[in-house]
Amino acid sequence: MGRQFLSSTVEDRVATVVLNHPPANALSSAVLSEIDDIFAELSTAEAVKAIVFTGAGSLFISGADIKEVAGITNEAMGKTLTAQGQRMLDRIEQMEKPVIAAINGLFCLGGGLELAMACHMRIAGERVRLGQPEIDLGIIPGFGGTQRLPRLVGQAKAIELILTGDKITAQDAKAIGLVNKVVPDAEVVKQAQGLAKKIAAKSAVAVRAALRAIREGAVLSLSEGQALESALFGRVCESADKKEGLAAFLEKRQPKFQDR
């Protein structure tokens, strides 16, 4: 089935998904539905081991569709929209394949930043500005921003950014741990793809286990998290990839993982 807003390509087991919804790549309900669909498809695609998400044109994602938000006039409508956005971003965060946001262009704001935060890693262009400016519209983040931002940058800084609506530079975002890396604008997608290809060369069994340990451990006590880690470690020790990885190390050669 053709998609109206998204396109995707696969190279070296890395899928690159591009959002093209001019003029601002806004996250309307229709766009959210397409994003949810494509990630559901990629989650089971055997040819794909890592995913890069980026925006077409001069910006990553401006945020939620303002006209659509303006049409929300009661609590039930607000809950419906945010529930849809939260479900979609939860799917991204819970992917067993790493998802890298290639934050290109000039702005990554509101729902755009919320989507980027749901990704496992973020590569930003040097000119991009990031923020949660919903407060300036008399609303608050609704796609998980009040929950993921404090987990990434700490509560005090998250409160500052959400209550002021300030937009920060990519360099400042890196300094507070919001993005992993800042690169020249023209290199954003290429750098994200390079990182994705590096991870795609690893064992999918180990990558999947590591992502689960980190994701689920974040909401557990230290002892519970370590118990989860131990259980997952035990499982990967039974994998063919573990045997190959250790054999390759001892034989001083590159491993040839089969993802099983």
DSSP string, 70-115: HT--SHHHHHHHHHHHHHHHHHHHT-SS-EEEEE-BSEEETHHHHH
Spatial strand order of the sheet with 107-109 comes to 107-109, 129-131, 167-169
> Of the residues 114, 126, 160, 244, which is catalytic?
114
Specify whether the CB–CB gap between 33 and 43 falls below 8 A.
no
CA distance 230 to 197: 28
What residues have CB less than 8 Å from 61, skipping those under 6 apart? Answer: 19, 25, 26, 27, 55, 108, 109, 111, 112, 115, 116
Answer left, alpha or beta for residue 225, where phi above 0 means left and psi between -120 and 50 means alpha.
alpha
Give the DSSP letter of residue 153.
H
Cβ(26)–Cβ(62) below 8 Å: yes
- Catalytic, 114? Answer yes
Question: Per residue in 92-112, pLDDT tens?
Answer: 999 999 999 999 999 999 999
Residue 63 has a pLDDT of: 86
pLDDT value at position 57? 79
Averaged pLDDT score across all residues of the chain: 95
Catalytic, 251? Answer no
Q: What are phi and psi of 181, to 5 degrees?
A: -155, 145
Bridge partner residues of 169 (DSSP): 129
Q: Is the pLDDT of residue 173 over 70?
A: yes
Average pLDDT over residues 182-189: 96
**Check whether domain 204-250 has CATH 1.10.10, yes or no:** no
Give the model confidence (pLDDT) of 30-58 as tens digits: 999 999 999 999 999 999 999 999 999 77
Per annotation, catalytic residue among 75, 96, 134, 229: 134
Distances (CA, A) of 50 to 62, 104, 197: 24, 19, 7
Contacts of 47 (CB under 8 A, 6+ apart): 10, 13
Give the start-to-end residue ranges of the domains of the chain.
6-200, 204-250
Contact status, residue 245 vs residue 255, Cβ threshold 8 Å: yes
**Phi, psi (5° rounding) for residue 78?**
-65, -40
64: tokens are 């939620």
For residue 33, what is the DSSP state? H
CATH superfamily ID and name for 6-200: 2-enoyl-CoA Hydratase; Chain A, domain 1 (3.90.226.10)
Give 62's pLDDT tier (boundaries 50, 70, 90): confident
Q: Which of 66-70, 96-100, 148-152 has the lowest mean pLDDT?
A: 66-70
Residue 1 has pLDDT above 60, yes or no: no
Examine the pLDDT at 144 and tell me if it is beyond 90. Answer: yes
Say what the pLDDT of residue 233 is.
97
pLDDT band at 64 (very low <50, low <70, confident <90, very high): confident
Of the candidates 176, 184, 185, 181, the residue with the CA atom closest to the CA atom of residue 196: 181
Q: What is the CA radius of gyration of the chain?
A: 19
Starting at the earlier edge strand, list the strands of the sheet with 181-183.
6-11, 14-19, 50-55, 99-103, 121-125, 181-183
